[in-house]
């Protein structure tokens, strides 16, 4: 996933599909992208369940929501 594309999505609601290393099936997360740490490659997401963090290396797809 391109770092430049992720910076454009900060502050927007998105649906993220990711797969953790060693897992067979991907999982989805929906929420607002609040912060992107380019140095460590981490993406901070705020959703109904709370604030979460995901590594950009595990992301397979990001789709912006209206």
Contacts of 60 (CB under 8 A, 6+ apart): 17, 18, 19, 26
For residue 38, what are the domain limits? 3-64
What is the structure's pLDDT at 38?
87
How far is residue 51's CA from residue 23's CA, in Å, rounded to a whole number? 22
Give me the number of domains the chain comprises: 1
pLDDT in tens, 7-60: 889 999 999 999 999 999 999 999 999 999 988 989 999 999 999 999 999 999
Please give the pLDDT value at position 13: 96
CATH number of the domain bearing residue 41:
2.30.30.520
């Amino acid at each position: 996933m391109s770092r430049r594309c992720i910076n454009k999505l900060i502050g927007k609601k998105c649906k993220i599909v990711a797969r953790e290393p060693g897992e067979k099936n991907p999982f989805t997360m929906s929420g607002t992208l609040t912060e992107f740490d380019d140095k460590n490659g981490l993406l901070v997401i705020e959703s109904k369940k709370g604030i979460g963090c995901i590594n950009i290396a595990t992301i397979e797809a990001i789709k912006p929501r209206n």
